[in-house]
Each structure stands twice: as structure tokens, then as C-alpha cells.
Amino acid sequence: MNPVRSSHIKKPFIARRSIPFIKKASNGANITGKTKILGIFGRPISHTLSPAMHNAVMKALGLDMVYLPFEVKPSNLRGAVKGIKSLGMIGVNITTPHKEAVIKFLDSISEDVKLIGAVNTIVNKNGQLIGHNTDGYGYIASLKEELGFNPKGKKMVILGAGGAARGIIIALAAKKPKSITVANRTLSRAISLIKTFKGKFSGIAFQAIGLDGENLRAYFEDTNLLINTTSVGMKKNEALKIPLDALPKRTIVSDIIYNPLETALLKKAAKLGLATHPGLGMLIHQGALSFKLWTGIDAPIDIMRKAALKALKMGGGR
């Protein structure tokens, strides 16, 4: 019998154009029988930067783990969460639109999540699913890393009263700022948010106001930190109409939107000579804190940042 030579084996035909994702798909070369699985549930999910950040860290640290994106419809969320246990996953991140809805499927939630009402990280601890939120702490860590800012005794204005604002307020309040003013388009939402926090944190002056342009001027005059947590700015050249010129020169203007990397709001602030803080750092640090919850390991921030920037350049983050 003639030996079978590799040149005799017919290669399968793969029509690359008909399977667009095949070009850059992972080939699974590093997957073993012991590989542990992490991931992110959301919808849409193809834009997420988290797999790039986490897989880069796992590779750098030589961990036998993989982090995968899962597109989960709201009607499939319960099943997907059950799957974390069934498949023995270490945990997952949760993103839009599931951060609030996922809570009812978990075994327990952290004290912070009870106040925030949103989860971005699930840890599978011996078959018990615990919900955490690392967004706000990631935000504070990024402010400290990039600008050395300590919120203690400072005055801050937060634009927006959604899930991200709630996470950031919890983390800021723990650092004992002097005051937190929440300005939101829907005033009733800002009022209800402030009500939740007022009783929990003494010594901080909380107030809720409307997000109407010139009326903000009086609140801006002695602000140390202005944070945009609204979704306005995700489109190029789109910015809230607010009187940035009323801010003192020492004010930091922060925008948690990370795509575009420098929003129109930050460009305007920089032109006025104000210090700026873009949203990518928050994304990186919330990821690092999730990673610590799952593995107990401090993720190398520089590796996460490099991977996130590379993924953004390749069209992620939308």
C-alpha cells in the first residue's frame, strides 16, 4: 500500500468571503481540556472590547482561561445565566441591556448592587452566582491613575442619572466628597437617585437638578469634577449644551464615553484649558476589578490598555 502523504490529503474548501468572521477568528490553538471559561453577555456584543482586554491578560500571565463574547437576547437571559453554572464557568461580565434584568436570576448580590440596581460582573463561587458592580470603582481607580485625583472634600457635578451614574456615585460617596450634584434631563430620575443615597452617606451634600443649559452655571462655579455619564457624545461632534466656561480652571472634565476616545465635550474642555479624563480608563479598570474578583489576581493595566486600544483601532467599541 502506498503511504498517505500530506500532499495527497484534499484540503477543505473554505469560501472566506461567505464566512466574513473567519479571517480574524481565534483558532483555538491554546485551548486545552482544562481551559476555564469566562465571558460577556450582552446585545449587541460584536463591538465589545472586553474579550481583547481579558484574553491579552490571560495570555500574558500564562493562565489556561479563555474569555468569549455571547450575544444573549433578553428572552434567553435566564437560560444563559443558568449556563454559567451548568458549564462551570468562572464568571461573566454583563453589559447592555442586561445589567438590571440579570439580578433576579442570581443567588445573591453585593451591598453596592442593592443600591445601584445593576450588575456588571457575576462570580460563580462554588455553584452560587454572586452579582457585583465594578463600574464605579473602576472609574475612581482610573481618575487616580491618570490624574492623581482624590474625591475627598471635593465638589462634583454628575450629568446623567442612569446605571453608570449610580455606580460612580457609590464609589465617589465612599471617598467622602463635600457635595454631589446630579443633573439629569428627566429631573424625577435624579431626585429618586439622590433619595436612595442621601440616607446612606452622611456628611455629603446631595442635590438633584435639571440638565438645562444656563441654569447649570451657578452649580459649575465651584466644581472640582464634572462627569458626563449621559450617552450624549457617542456620535461624533455631539455634545451636551452646557456652560463649560463657568467652570474654574482647576476643574477636571470627565466623560465616561470611550468611543470616540476624545468626545466633543472633552475637546471643548481642553480648548478652555481644563484638565480632561476620557472614558477608556474606566473601562480598563472595571475590567481589571472584575478579573480580580474572578481570579484574585491584579491584572496588568498596561496590557489591558494596549489590547483595548488595538481593538478600538480595529473597529471595536461601537
Ligand X SMILES: NC(=O)c1ccc[n+]([C@@H]2O[C@H](COP(=O)([O-])OP(=O)(O)OC[C@H]3O[C@@H](n4cnc5c(N)ncnc54)[C@H](OP(=O)(O)O)[C@@H]3O)[C@@H](O)[C@H]2O)c1
Nearer Cβ to ligand X (282/304): 282
CA–CA dist 91, 88 (Å, integer) = 9
Cβ proximity to ligand X: between 56 and 283 the closer is 283
Q: Is position 43 an interface residue for ligand X (rule: CB under 6 A)?
A: no
- Is 99 designated active site? yes
Alpha helices in 156-299 (DSSP H): 163-173, 187-198, 217-220, 264-271, 280-295
**CB of residue 190 vs ligand X: minimum separation in angstroms?**
8
Using Cβ positions, the residue closest to ligand X within the complex turns out to be 162
When asked if residue 283 is in the footprint of ligand X (CB under 6 A), the reply is yes
282 binds ligand X (CB under 6 A): yes
Based on DSSP, count helices (H) and strands (E) in the chain, helices before strands: 10, 12
Instruction: Report how far residue 119's alpha carbon sits from residue 222's, in angstroms, rounded to the nearest whole number.
Output: 33
Query: Segment 61-120, which members bind ligand X (CB under 6 A)?
Result: none
CA atoms within 13 A on the CB side of 155: 13
Alpha helices in 101-150 (DSSP H): 111-116, 135-147
Examine residue 232 and tell whether it contacts ligand X (CB under 6 A).
yes
Catalytic residue among 24, 99, 114, 267: 99
* Beta carbon nearer to ligand X, 134 or 295: 134
Residue 186 binding ligand X, by CB under 6 A? yes
**Cα separation, 43 vs 73, whole angstroms:** 6
What is the bridge-based pairing of β-strands 121-125 and 179-184?
unpaired
Among 50, 121, 181, 229, the residue binding ligand X under the rule CB under 6 A is 229
Check residue 256 for interaction with ligand X (CB under 6 A): yes
Q: Does 279 bind ligand X (CB under 6 A)?
A: yes
Position among 42, 69, 163, 177 found at the interface with ligand X (CB under 6 A): 163
Q: Cα separation of 266 and 226, whole Å? A: 11
Residue 185 lies near ligand X (rule: CB under 6 A): yes
Residue in 159, 275, 178, 163 with CA at minimum distance from that of residue 227: 159
Q: Is 48 in the site for ligand X (CB under 6 A)?
A: no
Task: Please enumerate in sequence order all residues whose Cβ is within 8 A of that of 76, keeping only pairs 6 or more positions apart, or say none.
Answer: none
Q: Between 46 and 128, whose beta carbon lies closer to ligand X? A: 46
Catalytic residue numbers?
Answer: 99
Binding residues vs ligand X (CB under 6 A)? 135, 160-165, 184-186, 189, 211, 229-232, 234, 256-258, 279, 282-283, 286
